[in-house]
């Protein structure tokens, strides 16, 4: 079993945190640690029953932890707008935002409610819309924004000629694109905050490799059975070979989101062999994430796509 390193988390009493994808896996573990440190944790979830089970699990592990469920379908811009409006109306600053939720490699192309390829629309554009919708609260809270990318962002590229993969679809290339785009957006958020005095610190994390639900059976994604990859990862994880566990995999994002040592514009991931598991540490930005012009283009195009498809909730 891979070693779980102790990640000191500062006192977060009086802080509000929003964690996407917190109803299971890495996100659930992140939310548990934040609640244990005193934060009020907003869990935006699509499945209310699953969310209620997550809250019960968090409160059992962190007695007194404050968790609030909110409805959110990250593949729907209207749903994201509704959540943003709710939190804006509450008027409570957001101090931590972890863009953690995601889907991975549906075997056949699927689309979001707004017509975007599912991975690009959920993993990237959904989080773009959430950041832009919550921007006043993030600025007021001088927030730390941590975006969860993937080692898949080391490969492939943004398919600028066919962002929505309408002419051809490759599951892993589309997944890589979504994580490269989210990474570039997160870095551009940090640059714009510094230039405009927004007070937001934005950085990136990746979990390495661990047996989470991303590659597991997901009938709604057209995957009736667990993939061979996740079966192998589970076996290696149980034996403590090379890869991590869901608990170790959440640690880079926990460090990036809470540590006073974590910096804006930086990438944090496991320090072990191949950056697949191990103690969280700062890592060199992947080559796909180093272009400032590419990041500016991602920001501009993403903002235009989100704005052009956004329908205000009734």
Beta bridge partners of 71: 45
The pair of structure tokens assigned to 183 is 């990474």
Is-catalytic flag, 175?
yes
The residue annotated as part of the active site, out of 169, 175, 268, 286, is 175
Q: What is the 3-state secondary structure (H, E, C) of the chain?
A: CCCCCCCCCCCCCCCEEEECCCCCHHHHHHHHHHHHCCCEEEEEECCHHHHHHHHHHHHHHCCCCEEEEEECCCCCHHHHHHHHHHHHHHCCCCCEEEECCCCCCCCCCCECCCCCEHHHHHHHHHHHHHHHHCHHHHHHCCCEEEEECCHHHHCCCCCHHHCCCCCCCCHHHHHHHHHHHHHHHHHHHHHHHHHHCCCCEEEEECCCCCCCHHHCCEHHHCECCCCHHHHHHHHHHHHCCCCCCHHHHCHHHHHHHHCCCCCCCCEEEECCHHHCCCCEEEECCCHHHCCHHHHHHHHHHHHHHHHHHCCCCC
- Distance between CA atoms of 295 and 199, rounded to whole angstroms? 20
What the block records as the tokens of 226 is 């667990």
Contact partners, residue 314, CB within 8 Å, separation at least 6: none
- List the catalytic residues: 175
């Amino acid at each position: 079993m891979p070693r779980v390193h102790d990640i000191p988390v500062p006192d977060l009493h009086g802080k509000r945190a929003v964690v996407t994808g917190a109803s299971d896996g890495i996100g659930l573990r992140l939310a548990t640690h934040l609640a244990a440190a005193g934060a009020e944790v907003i869990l935006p979830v699509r499945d209310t029953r699953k969310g209620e089970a997550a809250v019960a699990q968090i409160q059992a592990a962190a007695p007194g932890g404050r968790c609030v469920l909110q409805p959110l379908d990250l593949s729907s811009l209207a749903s994201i707008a509704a959540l943003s409006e709710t939190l804006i109306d509450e008027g409570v600053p957001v101090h931590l935002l972890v863009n953690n939720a995601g889907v991975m490699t549906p075997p056949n192309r699927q689309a979001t409610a707004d017509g975007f390829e599912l991975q690009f629309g959920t993993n990237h554009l959904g989080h773009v819309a959430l950041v832009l919708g919550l921007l006043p609260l993030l600025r007021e809270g001088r927030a730390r924004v941590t975006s969860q990318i993937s080692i898949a962002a080391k490969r492939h590229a943004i398919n600028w000629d066919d962002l929505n993969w309408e002419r051809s679809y490759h599951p892993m290339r589309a997944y890589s694109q979504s994580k490269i785009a989210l990474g570039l957006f997160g870095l551009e958020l940090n640059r714009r905050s510094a230039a405009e005095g927004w007070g937001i610190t934005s950085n990136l994390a990746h979990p390495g490799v661990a047996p989470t639900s991303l590659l597991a059976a997901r009938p709604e994604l057209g995957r009736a059975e667990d993939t061979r990859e996740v079966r192998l990862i589970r076996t290696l994880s149980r034996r403590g070979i090379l890869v991590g566990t869901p608990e170790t995999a959440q640690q880079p994002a926990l460090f990036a989101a809470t540590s006073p040592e974590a910096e804006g514009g930086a990438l944090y991931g496991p320090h072990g062999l191949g950056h697949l598991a191990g103690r969280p540490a700062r890592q060199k930005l992947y080559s796909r994430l180093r272009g400032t012009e590419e990041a500016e283009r991602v920001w501009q195009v993403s903002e235009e796509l989100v704005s052009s498809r956004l329908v205000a909730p009734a």
